[in-house]
Amino acid sequence: MNLFAVKPLSRIFAESESGEHKLKRTLGAWALIALGIGGVIGAGIFVRTAAAIAERAGPSVTLAFLVAGIGCAFAGLCYAEFASMIPVAGSAYTYSYATMGELVAWIIGWDLVIEYAVGAATVAIAWSEYFNKVLELVGLHVPYQWCHSPLETMGPGGAHGIMNIPAVVILFLTSLLLIRGIHESATVNNLIVIMKVAIVIAVIIVGWNFMNPVNHTPYIPEPTTYTTPEGITHDFGGIMGILGAAGVVFFAFIGFDAVSTAAQETINPKRDMPIGILGSLVFCTVLYVLFSHVLSGVATVQDFRTAGKEASVAFAITKYMTGYAWLAKFVSVAILGGFTSVILVMLLGQSRVFYSMSCDGLVPPMFSEIHPKYRTPWKNNVLFFVFTALFGGFLPEDIVGEMTSIGTLFAFILVCIGVWIMRVRRPEIERGFRVPALPVVATLGVVVCGAMIYGLGRTNWERLIVWMAIGLVIYFTYSRKRSKLRLSGEAE
């Protein structure tokens, strides 16, 4: 069979409604917007913002958020058209299978493991940091060695990390919730979303009066380099600093595309999917620019390189916002809840992508086995808990965070290309939403996302190449031989 054989849309729709693999439709437009916000606002804004300020861009981190937001907007428009046209589980993987063929679909499905599974591990590590902050409020703490990776040795007295136990625990609990059901998960997510949006707005309003103009001067630092304590050198300042920071804070936008993975569980996907994807993206971009402007104005670059590296928002409030120590405590508790919803959405996205790949025979059938009572792919959730626990428990946040960003950017590029191909090949298919000025939007999406990949640097390119090489080995030794499309002879 041709490696680029396309899966017929008639087969995709038929499989999504079959009794064996049918998921329960319970989500509406507002639930999808909340799901998107729940997945977007989290570790990116509360943790990766400080990393971008310290290592890449200084106060020009706001420009980095705009670049990342523009790239996401182009990709988001393309996602919205695809989701309204092919309203089934699987997100970019399914879209690619219908447009660019099986090999590309496999590549993007494997790539999405970096976005969702590794992304969930990244947020779990950030959750661990703030969990310790909350414990400190009652005079407790997790010893350094049990809340840090073995690769981290910056603890008190040169303490060496062994395993990040809190990160593993939160991954376990969210996996259990997803096994229980999408409706229950969405309800918990909605409550958390209200809380963390309120916190972001509170920090913006209160912090605005504590900004120091000196911290914003110069707004775009002169180009230089910065070497992290782990020995990794980044471009700092100038255009390359902004592009690199855009790649870092791009992690803050990951989640809006996870909305598309829930298309098969949406009541009216052709109408509600575009609303959920674009609504959550616009809302979060506005908050991000304001939040990063305040945070970079309140604390210094040096703060975020040293004492304020972990739990950065709580640190900035405690040190500089006199009289608002109570807010720092409330922020720590609220952020903890916010991170939980991000992990929930990312694990949801991951399980639905591999569910679709399993239905196609590209990964083992256990990934699409549905629980008889809860109607969720429960074995899928269990296996990805183990996978994410290994990353969250034994790797530091900066490594897994940037892996997540580059994997997602690559997926966005393929989605932008795919929607253009589909418009040319199948213009007759009904679309609940159409990308305006499609050739221009798709091209700009590829260019902007490509620029952010370039800004992330050679180390991250190498990690992506190695991960993709592993995926290709699996495809040619297992997936291609068991492809249901290949065995059925229905390929187009």
CATH of the domain at 170: 1.20.1740.10
Is residue 221 helix, strand or coil?
Answer: coil
Could you tell me what percentage of the chain is helix, strand and coil, using 3-state DSSP and rounding each to the nearest 5? Answer: 75, 0, 25
For residues 440 and 451, give the distance between their C-alpha atoms in angstroms, rounded to a whole number: 16
User: Can you give the pLDDT at residue 279?
Assistant: 80
User: Can you give the pLDDT at residue 188?
Assistant: 66
Please check whether residue 300 lies inside any domain of the structure: yes
User: Can you give the pLDDT at residue 220?
Assistant: 92
For residues 45 and 341, give the distance between their C-alpha atoms in angstroms, rounded to a whole number: 14
For residues 65 and 252, give the distance between their C-alpha atoms in angstroms, rounded to a whole number: 9
User: Can you give the pLDDT at residue 42?
Assistant: 66
Please check whether residue 51 lies inside any domain of the structure: yes
Taken in order 144, 146, 147, 149, the sign of the CA dihedral is positive
Number of domains in the chain: 1
Please check whether residue 4 lies inside any domain of the structure: no
Q: How far is CA 401 from the centre of its chain?
A: 9
Q: Read off the tokens for 479.
A: 């997936």
Residue 261 pLDDT level (bands cut at 50, 70, 90): low
Say if residue 218's pLDDT is above 80. Answer: yes
Please check whether residue 215 lies inside any domain of the structure: yes
Q: Where is pLDDT greater, at 9 or 173? A: 173
Instruction: Give 370-425 pLDDT, tens digit per residue.
Output: 877 777 778 888 888 998 999 888 877 767 767 777 888 888 898 899 888 888 88
Q: Which residues contact 8 (CB under 8 A, 6 or more apart)?
A: 490, 491, 492
User: Can you give the pLDDT at residue 98?
Assistant: 80
Residue 472 pLDDT level (bands cut at 50, 70, 90): very high
Nearest to 415 by CA among 454, 451, 442, 440: 442
Q: Where is pLDDT greater, at 15 or 390? A: 390
Say if residue 25's pLDDT is above 70. Answer: no
pTM for the model stands at 0.74
Q: Which residues contact 458 (CB under 8 A, 6 or more apart)?
A: none
User: Can you give the pLDDT at residue 454?
Assistant: 87
User: Can you give the pLDDT at residue 177?
Assistant: 82
Please check whether residue 15 lies inside any domain of the structure: yes
User: Can you give the pLDDT at residue 275?
Assistant: 78
How many C-alpha atoms does 352 have within 13 Å on its Cβ side? 32
Mean pLDDT, to the nearest integer, of 121-127?
Answer: 86
Provide the residue range defining the domain that includes 171.
9-488
Q: Read off the tokens for 99.
A: 């447009």
For residues 236 and 239, give the distance between their C-alpha atoms in angstroms, rounded to a whole number: 9
Mean pLDDT, to the nearest integer, of 61-85?
Answer: 85
Say if residue 427's pLDDT is above 60. Answer: yes
Is residue 268 helix, strand or coil?
Answer: coil
Please check whether residue 298 lies inside any domain of the structure: yes
Is residue 27 helix, strand or coil?
Answer: strand
Please check whether residue 266 lies inside any domain of the structure: yes
Range with lowest mean pLDDT among 101-105, 175-179, 312-316, 349-353: 349-353
Instruction: Give 274-307 pLDDT, tens digit per residue.
Output: 777 778 888 888 889 999 999 999 999 888 888 7
Report percent pLDDT > 90 for the chain: 14
Share the mean pLDDT of the chain.
Answer: 81
Residue 59 pLDDT level (bands cut at 50, 70, 90): very high
Counting other chains too, the contacts that 163-167 makes at CB distance below 8 Å and 24 or more residues apart are 163/393, 163/394, 164/124, 164/125, 164/128, 164/392, 164/393, 164/394, 165/393, 166/127, 166/128, 166/131, 166/132, 166/142, 167/121, 167/124, 167/125, 167/127, 167/128, 167/389, 167/392, 167/393
Cβ(38)–Cβ(344) below 8 Å: yes
Q: Which residues contact 406 (CB under 8 A, 6 or more apart)?
A: 114, 247, 453, 456, 460, 461, 463, 464
Residue 21 pLDDT level (bands cut at 50, 70, 90): very low
Please check whether residue 1 lies inside any domain of the structure: no
